[in-house]
Amino acid sequence: MGSATETQGPIQSGSAPTCLRAQDLTMRHGASTTLCTLNLEVPAGQVLSILGPNGAGKTTTINLFMGFFRPASGRAEVCGIHVAENPIEARRLLAYIPESVSLYGNLTGLENLQYFAELGGIRGLTFEAGEELLARAGLQESAWHRDCSTYSKGMRQKVCVALALAKDARAMLLDEPTSGLDPFAAREFSGLVNELASQGVGALVATHDLLLAREISHRILILVGGEVKETLPTDGLELGELEKVYLEALAAAPDSERDQL
């Protein structure tokens, strides 16, 4: 599949439409604030990584974009659609790849794809079209008609990518996409994401993998304790430099948050 280097460089398209936007997005769980006035913007064709330790608010951000939670204040937008007000519309434009993709084990990859595509409002996805999507997502042909219970994590993710392709998603949300993948699979997956981005999809990746963040994204946002500590472009950013900035941001955080590392 597409090599990573091809799409490595950031796409300079200042006029590209905004796919994902957070405006003063705040989330509270009981008395504690899990996300504090987050502002971010992901234009089409760009990948933004949110880097942070466990409990930093990465998944919360994604859940807010998915409309699974209602924010305490502020707003999340997907291609201009206010998520909290119209979550269904927003979800139709979104592709979502959770940390661990769960498919129906008693259905084949193709059947899962057809099922979830139909839920997303895509009617009549033919066998051939489904197979083509799976092929584009890089799932080996031998697996298409096998029950998903036999799939590895990487294979299930590829079904999810195929779903994103089927939906013709405008934006992608990825939650720890490469955790638990072997380096080869992780690299293959990064390539897939970059390919999607090159086709004009805006992607938000939540991760604590520095290497992935640097490789996959155009910009990196460091989130600790629900607050944005730093925003860095990856253009010309060295891994060592990123690590230093990240550790400094963590060191500034209260002990209780560092413990969660």
Partner 1 sequence: MKAIFKREFISLVADGRFWIACCLFTLLVGLSTAISLKNDRAMEHLRGGAQHDLRHEWVSQTAKDPHSAAHFGTYQVKPGTSLSWFDPGLDPFLGTVNFLEAHVRSEFMLRPARDSTSARHLGYLSPAFLLQVIAPLLIILFCFGSFASDRESGTLRLTLASGVHPAALVGGKIVGGLAAVFALVLPSLGVSGIMMMRVSEEIDLARLGLLLLGYGFYFAAIASITLWVSSRVLKSQSALAIMISFWIGMTFVVPRTISDMAAAQHPLPSKAAFAQKIAEETRQGIDGHDPQDARREELLERTLREYGVQRIEELPVNFDAIALQASEDYTSELYQREFDRVADQLEAQAQIVRTTAVLAPFLAIRNWSMAVSESDWAHHRRYAQAVEKYRQELVRRLNTDMIQNSRTGDFGYVVQQDFWESIPPMTYEGPSVRASIEDVESQLGLLAAWALLGIVGCLRASARLRP
Among 40, 94, 210, 223, binds partner 1 (CB under 8 A): 94
Count interface residues toward partner 1 (CB under 8 A): 27
For residue 74, what is the enclosing H or E element? Answer: strand 73-78
Query: Which listed range, 21-29, 112-120, 126-134, 219-227, lies at the site for partner 1 (CB under 8 A)?
Result: 112-120
Q: How far is the CB of 116 from partner 1 (least distance, A)?
A: 5
Per CB under 8 A, 104 contacts partner 1: yes
Shortest Å distance, C-beta 157 to partner 1: 11
Asked if 5 is part of the footprint of partner 1 (rule: CB under 8 A), the reply reads: no
Residue 260 is encoded by which pair of tokens?
């969660």
Q: Which stretch binds partner 1 (CB under 8 A): 28-36, 118-126, 192-200, 240-248?
A: 118-126
Contact 42, 171 (CB under 8 A): yes
For residue 46, what are the CA distances in angstroms to 13, 84, 182, 207?
9, 23, 25, 16
Rounded distance, CA 227 to CA 236, Å? 25
Q: Which residues pair with 1 in a beta bridge?
A: none
According to the binding rule CB under 8 A, does residue 106 interact with partner 1?
A: yes
Q: Which stretch binds partner 1 (CB under 8 A): 44-52, 102-110, 136-144, 237-245?
A: 102-110
Report how far residue 88's alpha carbon sits from residue 82's, in angstroms, rounded to the nearest whole number: 10
What is the distance, to the nearest Å, from the Cα of residue 116 to the centroid of all Cα atoms in its chain? 18
Q: Is 201 in a helix, a strand, or coil?
A: coil
Near partner 1 in 134-163, by CB under 8 A: 160, 163
Q: Does 66 bind partner 1 (CB under 8 A)?
A: yes
Cβ-count burial 148-169 (b if 16+ within 10 Å, e if not)? beebebbbbbbbbbbbbbbbeb
Q: Which stretch binds partner 1 (CB under 8 A): 42-50, 89-97, 137-145, 230-238?
A: 89-97
Least spacing, CB of residue 160 vs partner 1, in Å: 7
Task: Give yes or no for a contact between 19 and 44, defined as CB atoms under 8 angstroms apart.
Answer: yes
Footprint of partner 1 (CB under 8 A): 66, 68, 88-94, 96, 98, 100-104, 106, 115-121, 160, 163, 167
